[in-house]
Copies of this chain bind each other. A is one copy, B any other.
Amino acid sequence: MPDTSPPDSVGLVSPTLIQFDEPLDLACGRTLPGYELMVETYGELNRDASNAILICHALSGHHHAAGYHSGDDAEKPGWWDLYIGPGKPIDSSRFFIVSLNNIGGCHGSTGPKSINPETGEPWGPTFPPLRARDWVNTQARLADHFGIAQWAVVIGGSLGGMQAMRWALEYPSRLRHCIVIASAMKLTAQNIAFNEIARRAITEDPDFHGGNYLMEDTVPRNGLALARMIGHVTYLSDELMGSRFGRELRSGTFQRGLDTPIEFQVESYLRHQGDKFSNDFDANTYILMTKVLDYFDLAREYGDDPVAAFKHAECKFLVISFSSDWRFSPERSREIVDALVAAKKDVSYADIQSSQGHDAFLLPNERYQKLLKAYLAAVATDAEQREEAS
């Protein structure tokens, strides 16, 4: 099949399922007997493995971050294709880029939809609860698998940024740069509340069956759609929704004498988003991943002192926030930066002007693109010099 993707795309890619047989001790105290990770890579690892970048995905993300799987005209590229590819900020012509679906996920890696070897049935709601550190541990083994002793960069947005920060504390010598985008050291009560409402929408859908919906041959479609709608509204800014939808009605305007159901465009858009998501995503994974978000607390085991926590880090940091992001507001990023400065770490920070809310980290933005590109170009040059010197 000819590759018809644009020249700055990584083109056609295929995920690989990698098996890890060594048991994994989890933060919750339980042990996963073994696990599989669904992984994509873009670009080539250099001779001394100094040019590797790890992509950590957010709540609804997965391994397919760039390029195309089929090359069909209608196919959408990976979720961060705007930023990953030859000549793009995360430049696949200079870096070896590793992207995985985290365990607990629903896109091929071991998760609630997988078979529990001890019972022969899907894990479902019995899949162990996870913490970001569990993911970081599996990602460290993935690095071992590729022979990567040290990542040039660990990067992620939102929940992905939390993993990147956890990397800097758990494996300080194994990354040179940590890029934290639209993230936080812990969620606010408001953020936890939105997640709880989304979870309750799922768990109270009669098709949820206490999480055992697969055994009942159904899925809690309505609950998942509602959860996604809540997420979607809160990940966009008021301003963006206003400019995109205004108060446009989908079918004519309300008039005296007209007593039929009419909708605002924003309503049908949201319903569409919700319904689409409910076909693609696993409800137990959604619950599990929002719990990882809620319980993430960077400094908890460092006496609730983020400065003490970040003292363990050895890498350089780039922190990015977006002005209209109200779920992971610039204030949360500035808290990270303040703690890093107080811990005497090398940190750069940019608050990017944007009307696109939390989702801005996935969307086109010239200043954001230029910033990432300039920062990562310097990292790539450094990696190339290391390779030459080795």
**Chain A residues within CB distance 8 Å of chain B:** 27-30, 128-129, 186-190, 192-194, 196-197, 200-201, 204-206, 222, 225-226, 229-230, 233, 236, 238, 241-242, 244-247, 254, 256-259, 264, 266-267, 270-271, 294-295, 297, 326, 329
Contacts and interface: CB of A to CB of B under 8 A. Distances in A.
Contacts of A267: 192-193, 196
A294 B247 CA distance: 9
A197 B270 contact: yes
B206 A206 contact: yes
Contacts of A225: 200
A189 B29 contact: no
Given A190-B241, A196-B270, A264-B294, 11 more contacts: A29-B256, A29-B258, A188-B241, A190-B236, A192-B247, A192-B267, A196-B229, A200-B225, A200-B226, A201-B226, A254-B295
A196 B357 CA distance: 20
Contact of A247 (B196, B200, B257, B297): B297
B256 A27 contact: yes
Number of copies: 2
A277 to B, nearest CB: 13
A245 B295 contact: no
Contacts of A270: 193, 196-197
A104 to B, nearest CB: 14
B259 A197 contact: no
A259 B27 CA distance: 9
A339 B244 CA distance: 24
A29 B257 contact: yes
A24 to B, nearest CB: 14
A301 B241 CA distance: 24
A350 B57 CA distance: 45
A264 to B, nearest CB: 5
A233 B193 contact: yes
A270 B247 CA distance: 30
Nearest to A190: B238
A266 B193 contact: yes
